Amino acid sequence: MSRGGGRGHTRVKTSRGRTPQSNRWLERQLNDPYVKKAKAEGYRSRAAYKIIELDEKFGFLKGSKRVLDLGLAPGGWTQVVRRRLPNAAVVGIDLLPVDPIDGAIILQMDFMDDAAPERLIEELGGAPDLIVSDMAANTVGHPQTDALRTMGLVEAALEFAIQVLEPGGAFVSKVFAGGADSQLVAEMKRNFTTVKHAKPPSSRKGSVEWFVVAQGFKGRSEPEPE
């Protein structure tokens, strides 16, 4: 590696074992202030700052007692929740293995598994008042397909949230550029007092990700008597 530019920019030399794309990724990581900050502050990924910045803007963590983290790997969001809410019950789920996080229960399973919703609530010990989701589908390299697959996960997470959240609770989820589609936003507005889109400063400018923050869950309406 070499340094250039006079401002401490680390440049990665071409390696026979790396593709140009890998070189660009490595160079970006080495020069990313959030990567450096995460390492210094003990977070597993720069993604920790996304939830920190979203919470600074919307304040959804305050007062939460039971929190679910959907798609938690490698664990940065759960680390933030545990640091800010040391007395809250926290359960996370991901397909990938995740190293233990003190005070959190981690399930390695597919959120789309029929058994997942019941297992999450069972491990949490009751209804959540906050559900956060950084879930994204594995990419296939076709932007429209990737977006549709991820939005399918968002829809499933929202449906789950509407079924299990405590009244007054919040739902925070990654979406793609342009935010959630109009039908999804309409569903959120029917069920939450406020629905906002945001792109935190730590979300890379070139990234297509945005986040939706729905607060003030109105509660499940009782079915009409027959």
The residues annotated as belonging to the active site are 174
Give the whole-angstrom CA distance, residue 193 versus residue 157.
18
Q: Are 78 and 69 in contact, with CB atoms under 8 Å apart? A: yes
φ/ψ of 191, rounded to 5, equals -110, -15
Beta bridge partner(s), residue 92: 69, 106
DSSP assigned state of 192: E
How crowded is the C-beta side of 68, counted as CA atoms within 13 Å?
33
> CA–CA separation, 92 vs 80, rounded Å?
13
Exposed/middle/buried for residue 183 (C-beta within 10 Å: 0-12, 13-18, 19+): exposed
Which among 78, 68, 84, 52 has a CA at the least distance from the CA of 171?
Answer: 68
Which region, left, alpha or beta, applies to residue 51 given φ > 0 means left and ψ of -120 to 50 means alpha? alpha
